[in-house]
Structure 1
Amino acid sequence: MQITTEVFGKVLVAHTPDELTDDTSGDFVHALSDAINEQHYQVVLQMDRSDLLDSAGLTALLDLQDLTREHGGNLKISGLEEPGKKILEMTRLDQRIDIFDSVIEAVSSFQ
């Protein structure tokens, strides 16, 4: 899976796929794990394109957060649209993962 990423200082911004589901989440976690293990411990997931998020996608978010925290970093989300925000609220993941409206806000929150 090809993932579009950008680096702002020490923060890696990764653009999530259109669907973060059982079909895509494993490859997404694997690809991002490689980047995290290359010393990018501060990660922002830009989720503005993600229209579909299922339980495997939620698990992927938690797995990535655990991985970044193991290295002393953190995972944050930006650009999540209303359906995704509702899902995170209902599952209470919004209490575990910081959510920001914009990439700039999310990246700035690390400093």
Structure 2
Amino acid sequence: MQITTEIFGNVMVAHTPDELTDDTSTEFVNALTAAINEQHFQVVLQMDHSETLDSAGLEALLDIQDLTREQGGNLKISGLEDPGKKILEITRIDQRIDLFDSVIDAVSSFQ
């Protein structure tokens, strides 16, 4: 899976696929793990195009957060719209991962 990423200082912005589900989550985590292991420990997931999110997708988000924290970094999410935002609220993942409306705000929060 090809993941589009951008680097802003010491922050990597990764664009999530349209569907973060059982079919895509393992490949997504593997691709992001490779990028994180290349010294990008501050990660923003730009989820403005992600329309489908299932339990495997939620687990992938938590796996990525665990990986970044193990490396001394953190994970933040930007651009997630309803119903994805509501799913993170119901599952209380929004209490573990910071959510931002814009990628600029998410990247700036690392400063």
TM-score range relative to shorter protein: over 0.9
- Structure 1 stretches of 4+ with a deviation exceeding 4 A read none
Q: Deviations over 1:57-106 (max 9, x none)?
A: 00000000000000100000000011001000000000000000000000
Write out aligned runs for 1:25-40 (5 A).
Answer: 25-40=25-40
Write out aligned runs for 1:37-56 (5 A).
Answer: 37-56=37-56
SS, match of residue 99 in structure 1 = strand
- TM-superposed deviation, 1:46: 0.1
Q: TM-score, normalised by structure 1?
A: 1.00
The one-letter code matched in structure 1 to 2:86 is K
Tell me how far apart the structure 2 counterparts of residues 75 and 104 of structure 1 sit (CA, whole Å). Answer: 14
The one-letter code matched in structure 2 to 1:6 is E
Output the aligned Cα RMSD.
Answer: 0.3
- 1:106 maps to 2:106: yes
Write out aligned runs for 1:14-93 (5 A).
Answer: 14-93=14-93
Tell me how far apart the structure 2 counterparts of residues 19 and 81 of structure 1 sit (CA, whole Å). Answer: 13
Q: TM-score, normalised by structure 2?
A: 1.00
SS, match of residue 13 in structure 1 = strand
Gaps of 5+ in 2: none
Identity %: 82
Gaps of 5+ in 1: none
